[in-house]
Amino acid sequence: MADSDVRIGFVGCGGIGNEHLKIWQRTPGAKVVAVCDVVPERAAKAAELYSAEAFTDLTEMLKKADIEAVDICTPSGLHAEQSTEALEAGKHALTEKPIDINLDRIDKLIATADRTGLKLACIFQYRFSPEIQRAHQLIQGGRLGRLISGSTYIKWFRAQSYYSADDWRGTYRLDGGVLGNQGIHSLDQLCWMAGPVAEVDYAYIETIERDIEAETFAIAVCRFESGARGVVEGTTNCFPGFGTRTEIFGTKGSASFDGNTVTSFRIEGEEIDLTTKQDKDGDASSDPLALGLGGHAAQMLDFVQAIRQDRDVLCSGRDARVAVDCLNKIYQKAGAPPLGV
Ligand SMILES: NC(=O)c1ccc[n+]([C@@H]2O[C@H](COP(=O)([O-])OP(=O)(O)OC[C@H]3O[C@@H](n4cnc5c(N)ncnc54)[C@H](O)[C@@H]3O)[C@@H](O)[C@H]2O)c1
């Protein structure tokens, strides 16, 4: 470990957490020196694998471990509270998506980041490929003309066994359903490209053939702040699980995305080829951990470099809030219970 390495305290050694730990091992400029999980065996196993100190309580880790930053991979409804606690303890915070599911807690977290001046970042790996970042720049620069429509479709599959494996999954308090968990990537992509949603005109959610509280199927019609309109359709009932698709079109052109790949980008009268050349990254439409991890690696590197260079992260707390705002507007319109309480 080099003196200049960012010393990381890691929280939540479960499914995606173990993937983060592997990525940290090969991320230049970073070293995991402490790990924390409420399940002692998980913390102990990760501590042994990565030569780190084991904790079963975040507060204790923040007090005792010699760390500069935390990486949080716990259930979604814990992200804001834990990140806020870390910032209050003087540590930079990176959290898995969503930044939380409850807007009040997210607002408190963002205010804490502003006040402390510490870095706050949220993983949204669909934002991380050169082509998708260029597409975003061009759309934000008005190159598709006046935006008319932005829509996203999430046709994924999760069996009952996935939900039954962990008691936080599919709950209104800690997770939400297809939109709060799997679909939040697509809501982020939609709002990152088409801008924030001003209002949801229609929303319907239903839990189909799964024993969970939250929805496995959702449809909504949204109006964006730009005036564009569009559709959100998401499900985890669609066997065997197809990819995601986000489509944006304006008066001068159109764009289409599948995960972090650009599948089409056309502007009338111009030759712009942004379609992604490499093979499509793995995706999690059928299997939660079959996702490609290139976006994660790029974003985790961005986090440590932002700390060392004292610059903004590429996906901040404020950036990540927009998708959760859209999610909550859909829930409200559908008459669903509030999330994260
Ligand atoms: N970016 C992605 O593509 C992606 C993929 C999978 C999961 N995720 C997100 O990552 C988060 C974790 O998902 P998962 O599937 O790995 O869940 P998981 O249940 O497999 O892992 C969560 C871990 O957190 C631990 N934990 C729970 N409460 C804790 C606490 N108070 N303090 C410390 N540890 C605690 C659990 O014991 C468990 O080991 C979720 O928010 C999920 O949305 C993101």
CATH number for the segment(s) 6-125+296-315: 3.40.50.720
d(Cα 257, Cα 250) in Å, to the nearest integer? 15
CA-nearest of 58, 44, 42 to 9 is: 58
| Any ligand 1 atom below 6 A from CB of 58 | yes
CATH T-level topology, domain 128-290+321-334: Dihydrodipicolinate Reductase; domain 2 (3.30.360)
Q: Does the CB atom of residue 73 touch ligand 1 within 6 A?
A: yes
- Residue 140 DSSP SS3: helix
Work out whether the CA dihedral 101, 102, 105, 106 comes out positive or negative.
positive
Task: Please give the average per-residue pLDDT across 7-34, as a whole number.
Answer: 97
Cα dihedral 307/63/82/260 (nearest 10): 30
Per-residue pLDDT at 279 exceeds 60: no
- Residue 181 CA: nearest ligand 1 atom is 43
Share of the chain above pLDDT 70, in %: 98
Please tell me if the CB atom of residue 80 comes closer than 6 angstroms to any atom of ligand 1: no
- Pair type for strands 147-155 and 69-72: unpaired
Residue nearest to atom 39 of ligand 1 (CA): 14
| pLDDT, averaged across the chain | 96
pLDDT band at 281 (very low <50, low <70, confident <90, very high): low
Whether pLDDT at 36 is above 70: yes
User: In angstroms, what is the span from residue 115 Cα to ligand 1's centroid?
Assistant: 27
Domain ranges, ordered by start, for the chain: 6-125+296-315, 128-290+321-334
Q: Which of 75, 18, 82, 73 is nearest to 50 (CA)?
A: 18
Judged by DSSP in three states, 327 sits in helix
pLDDT of 44 strictly over 70: yes
**Cα–Cα distance measured from residue 311 to residue 316, given in angstroms and rounded to the nearest whole number:** 11
Cα separation values, 216 from 18, 176, 206, Å:
26, 9, 6
From the list 5, 1, 2, 67, the residue with the least C-alpha distance to 308 is 5
Neighbours of 282 (CB within 10 A): 14
Query: Fold match between 6-125+296-315 and 128-290+321-334?
Result: no
pTM of the model: 0.96
Q: Is the CB of 94 under 6 A from ligand 1?
A: no
